[in-house]
Structure 1
Amino acid sequence: MTEFNQQEDVQEAVRDAVDSGSDIYQRVKDITLKALTARQLDMDNITKVADAVAKGIGDAIGSQGGHSREAFTQAVSALDDALAKAAEASKLAIQEAASKVSDYSHYDFNKAADDIQQLETMFLDTVKKIAKDSNQIVADIVNDFTTHARQSGTAVGEQASIAMDALKDLPKFSTGTLISSAMAATSALAEIGGGILAGIAESLRSSQAKK
C-alpha cells in the first residue's frame, strides 16, 4: 500500500467516524493511534497522520448541522489525546535510549526532545487548516477551538511539558559522543517510540474493552 493511499485510508476512516455521529471521540482516537503505530514514531509520520485526521474531520464536519460543534470537539479532542500519547511514548523512548548512551549522540537526544516540544504547535496549526475552504460556521467553530486551546492549553501541550521536565534530568551528553550515522540513530529512537506507543495503545484498548 502506498503512503498516499495510507493517508487517504486514515482520512476516509475519520470522515466515516465523524459522519456516523456515534462514539466519535473513541473511534477517532483509535484510528489515530493505529495510524501512528503503523510506522516509526518520528515527526514526519506524526505530522502526516495528524494532517490526514484533520482532513477527515474537515470533510465530515460540515454535514453535522446543529451538532457540528460537538462532533468537532470530540474528534479534535481525540486527536489531541492521541498526540499526547505519542509525546509520552517519545519521552519514554529517549529515556530508554539514554541507558545506551554510547549508541547515540547529543544531537539525537536534542532533536527528539525538540520534536516533542513542537507537537502542540503542530497540532494547533493542523487544526487551523480545517477552517480553510470550509463554510463560515465551521470556520467559526475551528477558530473558537484554537483560541480557547491556546489560552487554556491542550493535552499534547501538557504531556510535552511533563516530558521536557522529565528529560531535563538526563545526563548531559558530550557532543563528541557520536555514532556512525545520525539518521540511523534517529530511526532507532523512532522505532523504540513506535513500539512503546503500540503498547500504550493496546493497554488503552484493553481498558476500554473492560468497561
Structure 2
Amino acid sequence: MTELNRQQDVQEAVRDAVDSGSDIYLRVKDITLKALTERRLDMENISNVADAVSKGIGEGMGSQGEYSKEAFTQAVSALDDALATAAEASKLAIQEAASKVSDYSQHDFNKAADDIQQLEELFLGTVKKIAKDSNQIIADIVNDFTTHARQSGTAVGQQASIAMDALKGLPRISKDTLISSTVAATSALAEIGSGILSGIAESLRSSQAKK
C-alpha cells in the first residue's frame, strides 16, 4: 500500500468516526495511534498522519450541526493526546539509544530532541488548516480552539516539555565518538520509537477494554 493510500484510509476512518457522532475521542485516538505505529516514528510520517487525521476531522464536521464544537473538541483532543504519546515514545527511544552511545552522535540526539519540541507547533498548524476549507461556523470553532490552545497549552506541548526536562540529564557525547551516518542513526531512532509507541498503544487499548 502506498503512503497516499494509507493517508486516504486514515482520513476516511476519521471522517466516519466524526460523522457518526459516537465515541469520537476514543475512535479518533485509536485510529491515530494505529496509523502512527504502522510507520517509523519520524517527523515526516507523524506529519503525514496528523494531516490525514485533520482532513478527516474537517470532512466529518459538516454533519454535526449544533454539535460541531463538541465533535471538533473531542476529535482534536484525541489527535493532541495521540501526539503526546508519540512525544513520550520518542523521549524513551532517545533514552534507550543513549545507552548505546557508540552508535549515535550528539547531533543525532539533538535532532531527535528538536523534533519533539516541534510537535506542538505541528499539531496546532495542522488543526489550523481545517478552517481553510470549512464554512464560517467551523472556521470560528477552529480559530477559537487554536487561540485558546496557544494560551493554555496542549497535551503534546506539555509532554514535549516533560521530555525535554528528562533529556537534559543525558550525558553529553564526545565529538570524537565514532558513529554511523546521521541518516542511518535517525532511522534507527525512529524504529526504536515506533516499537515503544506500539507497546504504549497496546497497553492503552488493553486498559480501555477492561473498563
TM-score grouping bracket, smaller chain normalisation: over 0.9
Q: Hey, what's the Cα distance between the residues in 2 that align with 1:96 and 1:52? A: 30
1:100 alignment partner, SS class: helix
Identity, % of aligned positions: 84
Aligned residue number for residue 124 of structure 2: 124
Gaps of 5+ in 2: none
Q: Structure 2 counterpart of 1:193, which letter?
A: G
Is residue 105–residue 176 contact of structure 1 (8 Å, CA) maintained in 2?
no
Is residue 90–residue 193 contact of structure 1 (8 Å, CA) maintained in 2?
yes
Is residue 17–residue 28 contact of structure 1 (8 Å, CA) maintained in 2?
yes
1:171 alignment partner, SS class: coil
Is residue 107–residue 175 contact of structure 1 (8 Å, CA) maintained in 2?
no
Per-residue deviation at 1:181?
1.4
Q: Which digits, 9 at most, give the CA deviation of each residue in 1:119-169, with x for residues without a partner?
A: 000100000000002100000000000000001000000000000000001
Q: Hey, what's the Cα distance between the residues in 2 that align with 1:146 and 1:178? A: 44
Q: Which digits, 9 at most, give the CA deviation of each residue in 1:72-93, with x for residues without a partner?
A: 0000000000000000000000
Q: Structure 2 counterpart of 1:76, which letter?
A: V
1:179 alignment partner, SS class: coil
Q: Hey, what's the Cα distance between the residues in 1 that align with 2:74 and 2:208? A: 17
Q: Hey, what's the Cα distance between the residues in 2 that align with 1:133 and 1:61? A: 11
Within 5 Å, which residues of 2 pair with 1:172-211? 172-211=172-211
Are 2:183 and 1:171 equivalent residues in the alignment? no
Q: Mean alpha-carbon deviation: is it higher for 167-176 or for 15-24?
A: 167-176
Is residue 84–residue 159 contact of structure 1 (8 Å, CA) maintained in 2?
yes
| TM-score under structure 2 length normalisation | 0.99
Aligned residue number for residue 47 of structure 2: 47
Gaps of 5+ in 1: none
| TM-score under structure 1 length normalisation | 0.99
Aligned residue number for residue 17 of structure 2: 17
RMSD (CA atoms): 0.7
**Count of matched residue pairs:** 211
Per-residue deviation at 1:177?
2.3
Per-residue deviation at 1:178?
4.0
